[in-house]
Amino acid sequence: MDTLTQEKLEEKFQAKIDADIKIEPNDWMPDTYRKTLIRQISQHAHSEIVGMLPEGNWITRAPSLRRKAVLLAKVQDEAGHGLYLYSATETLGVSREDTIDDLHSGKVKYSSIFNYPTLTWADIGAIGWLVDGAAIMNQVALCRTSYGPYARAMVKICKEESFHQRQGYEIMTTLMNGTEAQREMAQDAMNRFWWPALMMFGPSDGESKHTEQSMRWRIKRHTNDELRQSFVDASVPQAELIGLKIPDPNLKWNEARGHYDFGAIDWEEFWQVVGGNGPCNKERIDARVKAKEEGEWVREAAMAYAKKHKS
């Protein structure tokens, strides 16, 4: 293709983005836009599926039938979110098989937060409230992302995330209204999940290698730091309402900014976990590889049935 056509096409593409016209699978798009979407949406899908593991760990140990039913529903929702997002990835011309193999080989990432262990029942409350709360902050913005299938997947996912966040906050509220031991358990979960939840939004804007271009392409509608700040501003009053302490001595309301100031994030820890050295990285990938191997017969049976009954 001669450079003039390429330039013209890129100009027309950017004009559509700037006019907030959704880009659809069959539309022309720069290879770099397609690659960024494949990277982000597939990693988002991996995060949903790997995210089922820490919570799934407590389904058999939920303290009541109601808590078990709610947790089961949430974990099933996450599987659905993963399938939605793998389907959105496939619209960009990559196979689900290859996408999942990239996760298992360690070639691609999933959200760092899921490499932390769930040690007590209160962790399930902290994950629902903080992790899904952070995910909502990020995903509400993604409802306006420039790629059509991704934006549309987000609408359904966000509806379910609010239920996830609500049930997590209810668990934390119940514990904080409980015995001294239950309050301590909830505060311990808060102490272990607060900072990793802030890390979910990615490196600070100055360190983020994709944010500038992703904002230009309106894949991102807010920067990592903007979303992180909104999450802190929303979460502090919720914590205070039920008596939970935020584990950050530098947290302070800044009237002039109209936001909470908060302490420095341990980016060394973040990159260690992203780099595969978190507490549960190996366990998570081993579990996913095992699930794929043990599920081989199901896929074979489904393919054989589909072949036999092809209309």
Least distance (Å) from ligand 3HC to the CB of residue 270? 7
Least distance (Å) from ligand 3HC to the CB of residue 246? 20
Write out the two tokens for 273: 């976990």
Q: Of the two residues 134 and 175, which places its CB atom closer to ligand 3HC in the complex? A: 134
Least distance (Å) from ligand 3HC to the CB of residue 297? 29
Instruction: Answer for the pair 89, 41: CB distance below 8 angstroms, yes or no.
Output: yes
Asked whether the CA dihedral 61, 66, 68, 71 is positive or negative, the reply is: negative
Least distance (Å) from ligand 3HC to the CB of residue 71? 13
Q: Of the two residues 43 and 99, which places its CB atom closer to ligand 3HC in the complex? A: 43
Write out the two tokens for 34: 């397609």
Least distance (Å) from ligand 3HC to the CB of residue 134? 7
- From 248, 123, 98, select the one nearest 187 (Cα to Cα): 123
- From 108, 110, 101, 136, select the one nearest 227 (Cα to Cα): 136
Q: Of the two residues 120 and 281, which places its CB atom closer to ligand 3HC in the complex? A: 281
Q: How far is CA 154 from the centre of its chain?
A: 11
Least distance (Å) from ligand 3HC to the CB of residue 303? 29
User: CA-to-CA distance for 99 and 115, rounded, in angstroms?
Assistant: 20
Place of tokens 């760990």: 57
Q: Of the two residues 47 and 229, which places its CB atom closer to ligand 3HC in the complex? A: 47
Residues that bind ligand 3HC (CB under 6 A): 39-40, 43-44, 47-48, 51, 78, 81, 109, 111-112, 131-132, 135, 138, 161, 199-203, 208-211, 214, 224, 274
Q: Which ranges constitute the DSSP H helices of the chain? A: 3-18, 31-56, 65-90, 96-104, 121-126, 132-142, 148-176, 180-199, 211-216, 224-241, 267-272, 281-294, 296-308
